[in-house]
Amino acid sequence: MEQHKTRPPHIRARREAPSLPPQAARGGRGPTRPAAVRRPAPPVAQAVRRFPNPRLTGLGGGLFCIATMLVLGCLDALTFGSLTVYGVLFLPVSVLTAVWMRRNDLVTAPVVVPIAFAAGLVPLAQGGDGIGSRLMGLVTALATEAGWLYGGTLVAGLIATVRKVRLMNRRRRANRPPV
């Protein structure tokens, strides 16, 4: 025979919200202010909220950044073959990597971004048939495109720093004793 679980009446009573008189809702302090009317967010903010918001671990962020830069490097080598185009495409990838990192892994964003830049340069590097000439082409490309490399790393570092400072301030406010 099956027995259905039932809750005692005193537990049900605790879960139901008691109805309070109007004075209790105001806190007994006299007239209350009317509730603030919330305005809709600007269209730009609404569009940003529709974007995906993944939270990547340090390893996941590194894999995302390296894979994206390798794909962009291969596509650039097949289409334009321009290191400048590759550098311009590197900036949004570094921004996304820093924005999508988890809070605990923010420090890894400025570390994986330059590694991904170098990995994506491999298909673009000019060189001969040997390993030495390919390596020399990669070093030359890194030297000539150092501005893009520093710029993307700086952007990722700034975003990670601002996010970390905001997180620390939020934690500090939450841990303050009530006044």
Each residue's pLDDT tens digit, 8-33: 555 555 555 556 555 555 555 555 66
Task: Tell whether 159 is covered by a domain.
Answer: yes
Q: Which carries the bigger pLDDT value, residue 49 or residue 115?
A: 115
What burial class does residue 3 get, using C-beta atoms within 10 Å of its C-beta: 0-12 exposed, 13-18 middle, 19+ buried?
exposed
> In this predicted model, what pLDDT tens digit does every residue of 87-102 receive, in sequence order?
999 999 999 999 999 9
pLDDT at 121 over 70: yes
- Paired tokens of 150: 């520093």
In a domain, 81, yes or no: yes
With a CB cutoff of 8 Å and minimum separation 6, the contacts of 61 are 97, 100, 101, 105, 108, 109, 112
Helices 83-100 + 146-175 axis angle, to 10 = 10
In a domain, 3, yes or no: no
Is residue 47 in some structural domain? no
Q: What is the mean pLDDT of residues 137-160?
A: 94
How many structural domains is the chain composed of? 1
Residue-by-residue DSSP string for 131-178? HHHHHHHHHHHHHHTHHHHHHHHHHHHHHHHHHHHHHHHHHHHHHSPP
Residue type at position 40: P
Cβ atoms of 120 and 73 closer than 8 Å: yes
Query: Is this model's pTM higher than 0.95 or not?
Result: no
Arithmetic mean of pLDDT, 96-114: 93
Kindly indicate the confidence band of residue 117, based on its pLDDT and cuts at 50, 70 and 90.
very high
Instruction: Say if 164 falls within a structural domain.
Output: yes
Task: Give pLDDT, residue 6.
Answer: 63
pLDDT at residue 120, rounded to an integer: 95
For residue 99, tell me if it sits in a domain.
yes
Residue 26 falls inside a structural domain? no
